[in-house]
Chain A
Amino acid sequence: MAQLDIDVQLQRQDFSLAVRARIDMHGITALFGPSGGGKTTLLRLIAGLEPDARGRVTFDGHCWQDDEVIVPAHRRGAGLVFQDTRLFPHLTVAGNLRFAAKRAPAARPGADFPTTVEALDLGPLLDRRVQGLSGGERQRVAIGRTLLARPQLVLMDEPLAALDVTRRADLLPYIESLPTTFDMPFLYVTHALDEVARLAVRTVVMADGRILMQDDTPAVLERLDLTPLTGLPESGVLLDGRVLSHAPELQLTEVDIAGQRLSIPALDRAPGSAIRLRVRARDVALALLKPKHISIRNVLRARVLEIDIDRDTAFAEVLLDLNGAHLRARITRASADELGLRPGNELFALVKSVAMDGEPLRRDV
């Protein structure tokens, strides 16, 4: 499997980018994060279009940039599909495609003209001038053009961002089918979670010029707090459990989590069915003794695994073990000191609120 190995810095007046990552590339890999987080800049940097960048970029054993050498964009074999397509206005659609095909390295296997035209439905467009194309058509031509240059790696910069909802839905299947038709790795920039969920095998999360995490897409989706769709991920855990019983008069449902009971607001699920709950770290408090006279109903026995202190804030995060399942608690550093928390401590986790996350996420790759 091809590997993209990056260790780069780029300093701008109002923005700094510092990325160190090793990404296994196959199929579509999403580069996800809020707008203005440096995703496009990173893409351009990989393509060789940011001459001010410092550091090292290696793809599949080929060094594209290090302290001594900077391979220019036209020799990298990194195709970039720009958000604004950048088709050549003096050429027809066919002319744009042939421009790329003529410059494709003959020795490298990759897209050929008929396959590309077929895969992206470009046949009816070939004789058109690019000025007359719709946004979606333009993107298809731009994608086809990049594929025909036979790059080793295809970089795509929010190809759907400039399109309206209908056109997006039209274009998405084309993109989805690319990895099966063309044996090239794709790095796909987006700030839309639905595109990530639908297209990407793996997902790299980026914000503020840094890479926050990368993992298989389902794992990343589980770790994100999806409410502010484009915000930073908020820590928390997913708990797999089973519905035990219902107490209709109290509007409560009893759930088994790793052998302990949790009561949550009534849930329309038959006893015995598997459910996935999301518990945010900030909704979990800790107590050394089992508290009495307290409104919180969910008190779970737990053991401290790790304490993660953030010196820049007032908070510490405590990772807890519940007979194999995990829970995260966000408490103040002061409390952590007062309670004298150490890994191995047995204590009680007080869960204030639980969100239902539906069926356990599953994705067929």
Chain B
Amino acid sequence: MDPGPVWLTLRLAGVTTAILLIVGTPLAWWLAHTRSRAGPVFEALTALPLVLPPTVLGFYLLILLNPAAPIGGFWRAVTGDSLTFSFSGLVVASVLYSLPFVVQPLQTAFASQGRGVLEAAATLGAGPLDRFISVASPLAARGYLTAAVLGFAHTVGEFGVVLMVGGNIPGRTQVISIAIYEQVETLNYADAHRFSALLLAFSFLALLLVYSLNRRALPRVI
């Protein structure tokens, strides 16, 4: 069994999850607290990858990221690398594709805190960032853990978008799910079994962790 796809998958999922936690936090915070009419619009946009066929997302990304398009062209001018059929391109695609899996748990966590404890913190002299760091974040700890696990696991499990944007280049874009596809195509069932069993076990454990976390009584805001 070639460990290349495993290593690549872990790297992709790790980088994607890290970016998603950073990008998803302000977005989830805004969605949880906004009274703007644009709120539902952004909520729907965030949730799109849940219902959209990966091929649709992959197709549009291919159009947007290829070096002839403005975004892809800019990236190539700055980094000298292409956004299509490259690891960077996979990261961009994965971030978009896994966005709802990170944003929604965070949004739920922030929304369930309500404004009460944050108002209390404000009247005690805590500024906005201070309130976020010392009150909202620790209260959302479980939401963060759920978001990280789901974001990571979902990125590990993606196939269609990766195939559309990254293709199947060993060592560069060939993640586990793509490797399995190729092994099945080439009738290499032994390796396909190993990778599939690995993904099955990993996915089950990840979900088990998430559901165990959410079963434990949430700290109630008093």
Contacts and interface: CB of A to CB of B under 8 A. Distances in A.
B212 interface: no
A103 B124 contact: yes
B138 interface: yes
Given A87-B222, A131-B220, A74 B127 contact: yes
Interface stretch (B65-73, B78-86, B114-122, B194-202): B114-122
A91 to B, nearest CB: 8
A262 interface: no
Interface in B101-140: 116-117, 119-128, 130-131, 134-135, 138-139
B145 to A, nearest CB: 14
Contact of B125 (A74, A88, A90): A74
Contacts of B131: 74
A82 B221 contact: no
Contacts, number: 84
B3 interface: no
A282 B166 CA distance: 88
B222 A90 contact: no
A99 interface: yes
B148 to A, nearest CB: 19
B134 A84 contact: no
Interface in B133-161: 134-135, 138-139, 141
A49 B125 CA distance: 13
B33 to A, nearest CB: 13
Contact of B124 (A72, A89, A100, A130): A100
A78 interface: yes
A105 interface: yes
A241 interface: no
A104 interface: yes
Given A49-B123, A73-B119, A99 B222 contact: no
A74 B222 contact: no
A189 interface: no
Interface in B169-222: 219-222
Question: What is the interface of chain B mostly: helix, strand, loop, or mixed?
Answer: helix
A292 interface: no
A149 B123 CA distance: 9
A90 B139 contact: yes
A146 interface: yes
A130 B222 contact: yes
B122 A89 contact: no
A85 to B, nearest CB: 6
A80 to B, nearest CB: 4
Contacts of A84: 116, 222
Given A49-B119, A82-B116, A82-B120, A89 B219 contact: yes
A351 interface: no
Contacts of A80: 119-120, 123
Contact of B123 (A79, A104, A131): A79
Interface in A67-112: 72-75, 77-80, 82, 84-90, 99-100, 103-105
A328 B131 CA distance: 55
Nearest to A91: B138
A48 B122 contact: yes
A47 B135 contact: no
A149 B122 CA distance: 11
B125 A100 contact: yes
A90 B117 CA distance: 11
Contact of A85 (B138, B219, B220, B222): B222
A145 interface: yes
A150 to B, nearest CB: 8
13 contacts: A48-B123, A72-B122, A74-B122, A74-B127, A78-B123, A85-B222, A86-B120, A87-B120, A90-B138, A90-B219, A99-B121, A145-B124, A151-B123
Given A75-B125, A90-B138, A104-B125, 4 more contacts: A73-B122, A74-B126, A88-B135, A131-B220
Closest 7 CB pairs of A and B: A103-B125, A86-B120, A73-B122, A80-B123, A149-B124, A100-B124, A89-B219
